[in-house]
């Protein structure tokens, strides 16, 4: 009557054993570490490991451990104080950068089988928090410029001449000399630019096409701008080797960045919001069009050209046509030019950029090509809104002769320092932001606070767990012991699943675990009370056990399903900590159903199932 087949008992044992195995990585303590990597063409090898070790020994720091992981050196310290001392020493290594972090060292054999420690949120691990706002006005301005360029390209291809083109208060106005030209342009543009709705109008006697961005297009532009910025920011964070970063959208135009374990945010902060990129442009080689004379005279630049300035203020006349830009770069590394000794950035282009560069250099060997570095500078704050005001900054960092034909691989060097070259390479590798972002809120949580939160959270779980165990043991005797064993495995399985799924545990997540502990034992109480009721009705002990588990199942399932639905709703509509609570709650519901019904039943079967002449139950 109360007997599981062998296969079911083996299945339960295997699941519990796997739970213990994959929960075990969380027993390894997180240690303070320093991550060291090269910022230019410097070797990361055994010699660097030995050099770091010698300097730490000379400073009297002991108990450290140094390991090399690919192109990064990880130095583990016994405590935070030694870590901070080590940072001062390692930061002095020329050509290398270092970052403070917290790291769990799990045995390699456990990692190879998929074992990993549970991810901890910012409130538990400490670190830095940024709330970034995307400049949607700039995103729309970029889109306006792109559409304007597309219109000019289409009209030029179709050989339709125009009088003028401009954006005015969100409307694209394209004027023509005749109604026929306007009608031809209308037919071509409405077919090829679907995101803009065009209408043909006569404005002050001039035939004009009026284009307006569709509402769906505006929404898509803003969503894509957020998504691209999230992707770019995530790539930039990954360049710093931050473990378990969180980069997610918040609201219509904001991005939340959480970097657990990071204790030094200054370098990351500068890089996250950088909009810097490069543009390669042709230099006007006509000796009669001297850039200095044009600039001094105040006259406009020749058609198709624009005056730019080098870092020393020297004017340069460059073509409006961009050969390639940062969008076509797929890799960039900083280094030193062996011939000149200057810092340089070696870049690699995608197929589109490579073809453009190849076509240009074929026809322009002996001419000059300039590299324009584009970013922005802070000029003040709006007194009404409090927002920071920036202006674009374009600087020619290189103006060199094209000595040969090249396409996808080449070097850019010029007026930049080693640090600037390294920073530029990082920004180019991770891609450019689709629109500028501004850090509107920044918060730093120290590791001591995170440690305190972990200790308090652990104590709350332990206290609730122990009180439940004591109550069940006293009130339900042997069956209480069974419930306690099932409850212990429930917590182990929860931790294992959270670790395997890569879920991030936060303080609200710990609250979800505490709540699940109470809910898990509630299922056993329903079963045990049903068994008591059956015994009072005169049912045999074996029959009472069977009836208790069978009849209580529907009630337990109903209660847990409704709670699971609530957890799904919280996850779907919540953000940040609420999602963390929902994840732990939903996982806890699944594991508690398994342990309260199957695991406890299997244990009860082992204790009482083979006793045919059972007279009483210890319940």
Q: If you write DSSP's letter for every residue of 87-119 in order, what string do you get?
A: HHHHTTSTTEEEEEEEEE---HHHHHTT--PPE
Residue with tokens 């779907």: 572
How far is the C-alpha of 48 from the C-alpha of 26, rounded, in Å? Answer: 31
Phi, psi of 146 (to 5 degrees): -65, -45
Question: Could you tell me which residues come within 8 angstroms of residue 262 by beta carbon, excluding any fewer than 6 positions away?
Answer: 99, 100, 101, 127, 128, 240, 242, 268
| Per-residue pLDDT reduced to its tens digit, 485-528 | 998 899 899 999 988 887 777 778 788 887 887 777 888 888 88
Say if CB 23 and CB 106 are below 8 A apart. Answer: no
Please tell me the predicted confidence (pLDDT) of residue 253: 86
Q: Which CATH architecture has domain 278-415?
A: 2-Layer Sandwich (3.30)
- CATH code at 6-25+448-608: 1.20.1640.10
Indicate the burial class of 505 (C-beta count within 10 angstroms; 0-12, 13-18, 19 or more).
Answer: buried
Which two three-digit tokens encode residue 52?
A: 């770091």
352 CB neighbour count, 10 Å cutoff: 11
Q: Is 128 exposed, middle or buried, given 0-12, 13-18 or 19+ CB atoms closer than 10 A?
A: buried
Residue 386 tokens read as 């409090």
Q: Which tokens belong to 589?
A: 């519901």
137-218 is classed CATH 3.10.28: yes
Where are the domains positioned within the chain?
Answer: 6-25+448-608, 30-105, 137-218, 278-415
pLDDT of residue 242: 66
Q: What's the pLDDT tens digit per position in 195-222? A: 888 998 888 888 899 999 888 888 888 8
Structure tokens at 277: 């990129």
pLDDT in tens, 315-336: 999 988 888 887 777 777 877 8
Tokens 């320092």 correspond to what residue? 417
- Quick one: pLDDT at residue 401? 85
Q: pLDDT tens digits, residue range 54-87?
A: 888 888 888 888 888 777 888 888 887 888 888 8
| Class of domain 30-105 (CATH, top level) | alpha beta
Helix (H) or strand (E) holding 478: helix 447-501
Give which of 232, 143, 138, 225 is closest to 432, Cα–Cα: 232
Supply 605's token pair: 């079967």
What pLDDT, in 10s, does the model give residues 162-176? Answer: 888 888 888 889 899
**Other CB atoms within 10 Å distance of the CB of residue 502:** 10
pLDDT of residue 2: 74
pLDDT in tens, 244-279: 678 888 888 889 888 876 766 666 776 776 766 778
534, 543 Cβ separation under 8 angstroms: yes
Tell me the per-residue pLDDT of 99-144, one tens digit each, with 9 for 90 and over: 777 777 788 888 888 888 887 777 777 778 888 888 888 788 878 8
Q: Tokens standing for 327?
A: 């969008």
Tell which residue, 402, 325, 401, 395, has the closest CA to residue 356.
325
Mean pLDDT estimate for the chain: 82
Is residue 447 scored above 60 in pLDDT?
no
């Amino acid at each position: 009557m109360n007997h599981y087949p062998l296969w079911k008992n083996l299945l339960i044992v295997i699941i519990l054993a796997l739970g213990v195995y994959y929960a075990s990585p969380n027993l390894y303590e997180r240690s303070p570490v320093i991550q060291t990597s090269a910022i230019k063409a410097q070797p990361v090898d055994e010699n660097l490991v030995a050099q770091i070790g010698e300097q730490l020994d000379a400073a009297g720091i002991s108990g450290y451990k140094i390991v090399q992981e690919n192109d990064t050196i990880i130095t583990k310290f016994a405590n935070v104080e030694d870590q901070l001392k080590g940072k001062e020493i390692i930061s002095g290594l020329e050509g290398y950068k270092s970052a403070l972090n917290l790291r769990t060292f799990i045995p390699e054999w456990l990692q190879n089988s998929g074992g990993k420690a549970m991810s901890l949120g910012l409130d538990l691990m400490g670190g830095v928090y940024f709330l970034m706002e995307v400049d949607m006005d700039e995103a729309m301005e970029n889109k306006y410029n792109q559409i304007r360029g597309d219109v000019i390209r289409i009209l030029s291809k179709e050989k339709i001449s125009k009088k003028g083109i401009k954006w005015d208060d969100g409307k694209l106005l394209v004027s023509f000399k005749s109604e026929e030209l306007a009608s031809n342009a209308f037919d071509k543009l409405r077919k090829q630019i679907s995101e803009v709705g065009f209408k043909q109008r006569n404005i002050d006697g001039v035939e004009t096409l009026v284009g307006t961005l569709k509402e769906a297009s505006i929404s898509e532009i803003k969503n894509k701008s957020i998504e691209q910025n999230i992707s770019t920011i995530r790539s930039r964070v990954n360049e710093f080797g931050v473990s378990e970063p969180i980069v997610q959208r918040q609201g219509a135009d904001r991005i939340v960045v959480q970097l657990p374990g990071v204790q030094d945010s200054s370098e990351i902060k500068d890089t996250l919001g950088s909009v810097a990129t490069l543009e390669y442009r042709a230099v006007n080689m006509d000796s009669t069009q001297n850039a200095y004379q044009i600039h001094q005279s105040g006259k406009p630049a020749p058609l198709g050209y624009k005056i730019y300035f080098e870092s020393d203020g020297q004017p340069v006349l460059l073509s409006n046509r961009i050969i390639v830009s940062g969008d076509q770069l797929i890799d960039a590394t900083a280094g030193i030019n062996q011939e000149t000794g200057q810092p340089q950035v070696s870049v690699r282009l995608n197929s589109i950029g490579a073809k453009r560069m190849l076509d240009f250099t074929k026809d322009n060997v002996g001419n000059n090509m300039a590299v324009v570095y584009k970013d922005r500078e802070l000029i003040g704050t709006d007194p009404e809104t409090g927002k920071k005001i920036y202006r674009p900054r374009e600087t020619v960092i290189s103006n060199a002769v094209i000595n040969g034909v090249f396409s996808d691989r080449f070097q850019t060097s010029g007026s930049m320092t080693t640090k600037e070259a390294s920073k530029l390479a990082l920004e180019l590798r991770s891609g450019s932001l689709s629109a500028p972002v501004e850090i509107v809120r920044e918060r730093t949580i120290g590791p001591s606070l995170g440690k305190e939160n972990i200790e308090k959270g652990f104590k709350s779980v332990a206290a609730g767990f122990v009180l439940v165990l004591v109550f069940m043991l006293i009130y339900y005797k042997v069956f209480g012991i069974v419930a306690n064993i099932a409850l212990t495995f429930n917590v182990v399985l929860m931790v294992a699943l959270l670790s395997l799924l890569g879920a991030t545990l936060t303080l609200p997540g710990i609250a979800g675990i505490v709540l699940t502990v109470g809910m898990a034992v509630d299922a056993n109480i329903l079963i045990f009370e049903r068994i008591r009721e059956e015994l009072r009705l005169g049912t045999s002990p074996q029959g009472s056990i069977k009836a208790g588990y069978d009849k209580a199942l529907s009630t337990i399932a109903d209660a847990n399903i409704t709670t699971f639905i609530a957890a799904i709703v919280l996850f779907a509509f919540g953000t940040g900590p609420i999602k963390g609570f929902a994840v732990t709650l939903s996982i806890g519901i699944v594991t508690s159903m398994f342990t309260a019904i199957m695991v406890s039943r299997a244990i009860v079967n082992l204790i009482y199932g083979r006793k045919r002449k059972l007279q009483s139950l210890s319940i």
